[in-house]
Amino acid sequence: MKESKPPLENDAPSLAGVKKEFETLLAREREVSRLKGQMVSIASHEFRTPLSSIQLSASMIEHYFDRLDRAKIFHHLKKIIQAVQDMTAVLDDILSLEKIDSGKIPLNRRHFDLASLGREILDEMQSLTKKDQQLQYRYDGEECCVYLDQNLIRHCITNLISNAIKYSPEAGIIELKTDITEQFICVQVKDNGIGIPEKEQPKLFETFFRAGNAKDIQGTGLGLSIVKRYVELMDGSVSFSSVENIGTVFNLSFPRGMNDRDQPVK
């Protein structure tokens, strides 16, 4: 009768596999815990300034309402609205990151006019510009219709334009360019802002990364990480070039398929 191997010896390979899987899960859990801790820290820090602004402006209106002229009241109301928008943006970034990590971001491709979307985004963001900043739009290509997720591409463009406004000086020029070729759909955002230090550029798309020259400017370090993931969800790629104190150019590129060409130009 053939001797059977000891049970533990038979199970050695499977035990090694279980151990490796357990270590992977443990490392993942630690990373999730670390990210959650950073999210709480970022939210706490980023909420403090707008909450203080809301409290101050509300107190000014409450205590000096009868002595403030109409322009002053609207000035404080505008500050409150802006502060609420800033907090909403932070919450949106945190929620977006959580949805991406849990695979809950639905991809909803449909046909839409890219040129119209570009102009619409710049019109909406005009009110966020600094003194004498210019938002310019340029479109190249014979066709306007693309087949992408309009909500995701809107988020990407809005984030890049918002960053360009934030990190560019007064009277700076921010350009959005869209280009449709036979093979690719391209989106470019160019500014003449503070740029990204060369030694820090490899970390630019890491979650919570903030460049050393941007520490004093409000931000969570989540935006570009989310942009990169959204672009990749649509099978695209993102690249950039930047020179400190000269400016930055971001390029989003998406491959075209048959669905991009089966709709008439509108």
Per-residue pLDDT at 60: 86
Residue 262 in this model has a pLDDT that exceeds 50: no
- Correct CATH for 109-260 of 1.10.3720.10, 3.30.565.10, 3.40.718.10, 3.40.50.1100: 3.30.565.10
**What proportion of the chain, given as a percentage, has pLDDT over 70?**
83
Q: What is the pLDDT of residues 84-111, one digit of tens each?
A: 877 877 777 777 777 777 777 889 999 9
Q: Kindly report which listed range (70-74, 127-131, 141-145, 242-246) carries the lowest average pLDDT score.
A: 141-145
- Correct CATH for 8-101 of 3.40.50.12780, 1.10.3470.10, 1.10.287.130, 1.25.10.10: 1.10.287.130
Residue 230 in this model has a pLDDT that exceeds 90: yes
Same topology, domains 8-101 and 109-260? Answer is no
**What proportion of the chain, given as a percentage, has pLDDT over 90?**
46
Interhelix angle 70-101/223-233, nearest 10 degrees: 50
Query: What residue ranges do the domains of the chain occupy?
Result: 8-101, 109-260
Q: What is the pLDDT of residues 48-95, one digit of tens each?
A: 777 888 888 888 888 888 888 888 888 888 888 878 877 877 777 777
